[in-house]
């Protein structure tokens, strides 16, 4: 699966099978960047316990085309809300093992408040609006992960 770039040159959005390197992403947020005093990033990992079961791995499915569009919209919304200069957003798909990296959201801004808020906002909306689905392998077999009310309720803080 090929990486796809956002149209805005200041932002990078990719949906890919390949792993990502946080050091590289952080370097890209800092490279030739004289205006930003804050970088905030989040990484999401596969954990071994979920919804009461031992998980040995998972597969991430997505809706090619819509996924990229949804992520671009979420980043655009965050950028219209906060003075954010660069966003790097990478989400993996395919088969992943325990402790593998799933998602990276990195944001740079002049000041920390905007960077923290925009990063948090992007993750909250990604959880609710981006068409990804996790199927876990557990000791009882495979199962689709259920969406959680708490993820939906998390959007309340941005209304």
Binding stretches for other proteins (CB under 8 A): 44, 60-63, 65-66, 69-70, 91, 102-103, 123, 126-135, 144-147
Distance CA 158, CA 80 (A): 13
Whichever of 97 and 147 has its CB closer to other proteins, that residue is: 147
Q: 102 and 83 in contact (C-beta within 8 Å)?
A: no
Q: Which run of H or of E encompasses 86?
A: strand 84-92
List, in order, residues 6 or more apart from 159 with CB less than 8 Å away. Answer: none
Whichever of 116 and 131 has its CB closer to other proteins, that residue is: 131
What is the closest distance, in whole angstroms, from the C-beta atom of residue 96 to other proteins in the complex?
A: 12
What is the closest distance, in whole angstroms, from the C-beta atom of residue 38 to other proteins in the complex?
A: 22
What is the closest distance, in whole angstroms, from the C-beta atom of residue 84 to other proteins in the complex?
A: 19
Whichever of 29 and 74 has its CB closer to other proteins, that residue is: 74
What is the closest distance, in whole angstroms, from the C-beta atom of residue 150 to other proteins in the complex?
A: 12
Tell me 146's DSSP state: P
Q: Three-class SS of residue 108?
A: strand
Distance CA 159, CA 140 (A): 39
Whichever of 60 and 79 has its CB closer to other proteins, that residue is: 60
């Amino acid at each position: 699966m090929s990486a796809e770039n956002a149209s805005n040159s200041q932002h990078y959005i990719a949906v890919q099978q390949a792993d990502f390197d946080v050091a590289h992403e952080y370097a890209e947020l800092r490279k030739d960047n004289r205006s930003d005093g804050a970088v905030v990033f989040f990484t999401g990992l596969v954990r071994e316990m979920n919804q009461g079961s031992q998980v040995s791995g998972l597969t991430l499915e997505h809706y090619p085309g819509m996924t990229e569009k949804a992520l671009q919209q979420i980043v655009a919304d965050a950028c219209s809300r906060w003075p954010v200069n660069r966003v790097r957003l990478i989400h993996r798909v395919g088969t992943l093992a325990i402790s593998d990296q799933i998602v990276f959201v990195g944001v740079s801004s002049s000041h920390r408040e905007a960077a923290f808020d925009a990063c948090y906002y992007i993750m909250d909306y990604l959880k609710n609006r981006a068409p990804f689905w996790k199927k876990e392998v557990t000791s009882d077999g495979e199962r689709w992960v259920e969406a959680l009310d708490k993820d939906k309720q998390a959007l309340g803080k941005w209304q």
